[in-house]
Structure 1
Amino acid sequence: MINRLLGLFESWTKPLPNIEPSQPPRGLWAFCRHYTQGFERPLLLMSLLTATIAVLEVSLFGFMGQLVDWLVTKNPETLLAEEGTTLIGMGLLVLVFIPLLTLLHALIVYQSLLGNYPMAIRWLAHKYLLRQSISFYQNEFAGRVATKVMQTSLAVRETVMKLLDVLMYILVYFTSMVVMMAKADWRMVIPMALWLTCYILLQWFFIPRLKAVASEQADARSTMTGRIVDSYSNISTVKLFAHTQQEANYARSSMREFLATVYRQMRLVTGINVSVQVLNYLLAFSVAALSIWLWMDSAITVGAIAIAVSLALRLNGMSQWIMWEVSALFENLGTVSDGMNTLSQTANVTDDPNAVPLNISAGAILFNDVCFDYGEKNGVLKHLNLAIRPGEKIGLVGRSGAGKSTLVNLLLRFYDIESGAILIDGQNIKDVSQDSLRSNIGMVTQDTSLLHRSIRENILYGRPDASDAEMLSAIEKAQANEFIEQLTDPHGNRGLDAQVGERGVKLSGGQRQRIAIARVLLKDAPILVLDEATSALDSEVEAAIQQSLYQLMEGKTVIAIAHRLSTIAAMDRLIVLDQGQIVEQGSHKELIAQQGIYAQLWQRQTGGFLGVD
Structure 2
Amino acid sequence: MLRYLETRIDPVANPPHGGPPAGLLAFFWYFIAQAKWLFAALFVVGMLAAVVETAIPYFIGRLVAILTETPRETLFASAWPTFATMLVVVLVLRPLVLFLQRAISNHGISGPLNTLTRWQSHHHVIRQSLGFFQNDFAGRIANHVMQAGSGVRETALATMRSVLHILFYGVAATGLMMAQDWRLALPILVWFLLYVTLLTALVPRLREKARTASAKRSAVTGKVVDGYTNIQTVKLFARTADEDRYIRDSMMEMNSAFLAQHRINTLFTVLLNLLNAALLATVGTLAVVFWQAGRVDIGTVAMVLPLTIQIISMSGWVAAEIQGIFENVGVVQESMGSIARPLAMQDAPGARPLAVAGGEIVFDHVTFGYGRADLPVIRDLSLTVRPGEKVGLVGRSGAGKSTLVNLLLRFHDVEKGAIRVDGQDVQAVTQESLRQAISVVTQDTSLLHRSIRDNIMYGKAGADEAMLEAAAARAHADAFIPLLKDINGRTGYDAHVGERGVKLSGGQRQRIAIARVILRDAPILILDEATAALDSEVEAAIQDSLGALMAGKTVIAIAHRLSTLQIMDRLVVLDGGRIVEEGTHEGLLAKGGLYAQLWARQSGGFLVEPRQAAE
TM-score above 0.5, yes or no = yes
Distance (whole Å) between structure 1 residues aligned to residue 367 and residue 299 of structure 2:
85
Match of 2:449 in 1: 452
Distance 1:445 1:608, change over 3 A: farther
Cα distance, 1:165 vs. partner?
2.8
1:425 counterpart = 2:429 = no
Distance (whole Å) between structure 1 residues aligned to residue 45 and residue 372 of structure 2:
57
Distance (whole Å) between structure 2 residues aligned to residue 328 and residue 18 of structure 1:
29
Match of 2:118 in 1: 122
1:526 counterpart = 2:528 = no
Distance (whole Å) between structure 2 residues aligned to residue 37 and residue 181 of structure 1:
38
2:419 match: secondary structure: strand
Match of 2:25 in 1: 29
Structure 2 residue aligned with 1:75, among 65, 71, 76? 71
Cα distance, 1:19 vs. partner?
4.4
Cα distance, 1:346 vs. partner?
2.0
Cα distance, 1:37 vs. partner?
3.4
Match of 2:275 in 1: 279
Distance 1:310 1:63, change over 3 A: same
1:569 counterpart = 2:566 = yes
Contact 1:474 1:521 in 2 (8 A): yes
Distance 1:504 1:608, change over 3 A: farther
Distance (whole Å) between structure 2 residues aligned to residue 160 and residue 323 of structure 1:
15
Q: Give the length in aligned residue pairs.
A: 606
Distance 1:446 1:595, change over 3 A: same
Runs of 4+ aligned residues of structure 1 deviating over 3 Å after TM superposition are 18-22, 606-610
Distance (whole Å) between structure 2 residues aligned to residue 410 and residue 484 of structure 1:
35
Structure 2 residue aligned with 1:96, among 92, 99, 105? 92
Distance (whole Å) between structure 2 residues aligned to residue 552 and residue 476 of structure 1:
13
Match of 2:612 in 1: none
Match of 1:144 in 2: 140
Cα distance, 1:21 vs. partner?
5.9
Distance 1:607 1:600, change over 3 A: closer
2:525 match: secondary structure: strand
Distance (whole Å) between structure 2 residues aligned to residue 525 and residue 283 of structure 1:
76
Distance (whole Å) between structure 1 residues aligned to residue 187 and residue 158 of structure 2:
27
Distance (whole Å) between structure 1 residues aligned to residue 200 and residue 161 of structure 2:
21
Match of 2:592 in 1: 595
2:472 match: secondary structure: helix
Distance 1:29 1:608, change over 3 A: farther
2:568 match: secondary structure: coil
1:502 counterpart = 2:499 = yes
Match of 1:545 in 2: 542
1:220 counterpart = 2:216 = yes
1:582 counterpart = 2:597 = no
Structure 2 portions without partners, runs of 5+: 608-615
2:54 match: secondary structure: helix
Cα distance, 1:341 vs. partner?
1.4
Contact 2:443 2:531 in 1 (8 A): yes
2:205 match: secondary structure: helix
Cα distance, 1:197 vs. partner?
2.0
Match of 1:391 in 2: 388
Show the 5 A alignment for 1:160-559.
Answer: 160-377=156-373, 378-559=375-556
Cα distance, 1:97 vs. partner?
1.7
Distance (whole Å) between structure 2 residues aligned to residue 124 and residue 98 of structure 1:
37
Distance (whole Å) between structure 1 residues aligned to residue 243 and residue 499 of structure 2:
19
Letter paired with 1:192: I
Over residues 131-164 of structure 1, what are the superposed CA-to-partner deviations in whole Å (9 max), with x where a residue is unaligned?
A: 1100000011111011001111111111122223
Over residues 308-356 of structure 1, what are the superposed CA-to-partner deviations in whole Å (9 max), with x where a residue is unaligned?
A: 1111111221111111111111111111111111101222211123111
2:88 match: secondary structure: helix
Over residues 188-212 of structure 1, what are the superposed CA-to-partner deviations in whole Å (9 max), with x where a residue is unaligned?
A: 1121122122222221221111100
Distance (whole Å) between structure 2 residues aligned to residue 202 and residue 333 of structure 1:
19
Distance (whole Å) between structure 1 residues aligned to residue 408 and residue 490 of structure 2:
39
Contact 1:21 1:127 in 2 (8 A): no
Cα distance, 1:514 vs. partner?
0.3
1:49 counterpart = 2:45 = yes
Cα distance, 1:217 vs. partner?
0.7
Distance (whole Å) between structure 2 residues aligned to residue 420 and residue 507 of structure 1:
42
1:66 match: secondary structure: helix
Distance (whole Å) between structure 2 residues aligned to residue 370 and residue 223 of structure 1:
38
Contact 1:410 1:417 in 2 (8 A): yes
Cα distance, 1:570 vs. partner?
2.4
Structure 1 portions without partners, runs of 5+: none
Cα distance, 1:86 vs. partner?
2.2
Letter paired with 1:408: V
Distance (whole Å) between structure 1 residues aligned to residue 399 and residue 424 of structure 2:
27
Distance 1:484 1:609, change over 3 A: farther
TM-score normalised by the chain length of structure 1: 0.97
1:263 match: secondary structure: helix
Distance 1:20 1:468, change over 3 A: farther
Letter paired with 1:513: Q
1:423 match: secondary structure: strand
Cα distance, 1:38 vs. partner?
2.3
Cα distance, 1:608 vs. partner?
9.8
2:383 match: secondary structure: strand
Cα distance, 1:307 vs. partner?
1.3
Contact 2:14 2:120 in 1 (8 A): no
Distance (whole Å) between structure 2 residues aligned to residue 141 and residue 349 of structure 1:
20
Match of 1:61 in 2: 57
1:394 match: secondary structure: strand
Over residues 532-560 of structure 1, what are the superposed CA-to-partner deviations in whole Å (9 max), with x where a residue is unaligned?
A: 00000000000000000000000000000
Cα distance, 1:606 vs. partner?
4.5
Letter paired with 1:143: G
Over residues 457-485 of structure 1, what are the superposed CA-to-partner deviations in whole Å (9 max), with x where a residue is unaligned?
A: 00000012111111111100111111101
Higher deviation after alignment, 109-118 or 35-44:
35-44
TM-score normalised by the chain length of structure 2: 0.97
Contact 1:564 1:609 in 2 (8 A): no
